[in-house]
Structure 1
């Protein structure tokens, strides 16, 4: 989540809060789903986890060390999906101007946070938006990866 740098981290002298087991399990499921998409790779720029296709990020997975709230950031160009994602508790357009291009940051720790299967649907939409047509065709030919 590139907007993490915009927010203050844990207060000096305080131990970072660990993510809840439920949020971490959801995060791990979404990460596994993203990395199962054709050609997806994992990288760790800016101290966070991202999934890329052909050197382009399609999902920011943030950090899981408790230094920032656990969440995912996806690019949603479908108006209905974008609007739906923004209704999630604590969701907001991504920082660094990415929100203007359809990127939405969705926290996982909030009560009422989206289920992992819905997050996986949004990750797939983000992938389809970023990936070359060849990879999208490959995805369609093999069927959608198992999200759980």
Structure 2
């Protein structure tokens, strides 16, 4: 018998919605607009790097797995907040112990793009050299 109850909170569809794809594109664009940021595709997924270090894992947008972003959040409040997002979890491969959090984009109640961009910026500030962070701060003034 088919489940007709509709989407459940925290459940993630394999096929991303237009809204999730738009959110992913906005986060990707924001990340790649940060000083010195470049996109690479290790392990078949999109990542944004600064000085050869990953500051956000963007996953894949081909529908092969649920859209998500993974960021490093060292601020305890931001880290705790991210983990309250539907389906969010400490990143795999031991990265979660260092503050990396995987946040699905398509789950009902997923964070808005603005909040995700804030988390991407925090991750960038944690990973980027001081010179690049200074460039970012200069842009803001």
Instruction: Tell me the TM-score normalized by structure 2.
Output: 0.89
Return the offset for 1:89. 0.2
Q: How does 1:95-134 map to 2 (within 5 A)?
A: 95-134=92-131
Counterpart position of 2:33: 36
Where do 5+ consecutive residues of structure 2 fail to align?
Answer: 1-12
Aligned residues: 129
Cα RMSD (Å) of the superposition?
1.2
SS at match of 1:51: strand
Deviations 1:103-131 (A, max 9, x none): 00000110000000000000000000000
Structure 1 residue aligned with 2:75, among 78, 88, 106?
Answer: 78
CA separation in 1, counterparts of 2:126 and 2:108? 29
Counterpart position of 1:93: 90
Counterpart position of 1:63: 60
Structure 2 residue aligned with 1:49, among 37, 46, 58?
Answer: 46
CA separation in 2, counterparts of 1:87 and 1:57? 23
Return the offset for 1:143. 1.4
Deviations 1:14-72 (A, max 9, x none): xx943110000000000000000000000000000000000000000000011111000
CA separation in 1, counterparts of 2:25 and 2:93? 25
Instruction: Tell me the TM-score normalized by structure 1.
Output: 0.85
Deviations 1:83-119 (A, max 9, x none): 0000000000000000000000000110000000000
Where do 5+ consecutive residues of structure 1 fail to align?
Answer: 1-15
SS at match of 2:97: helix
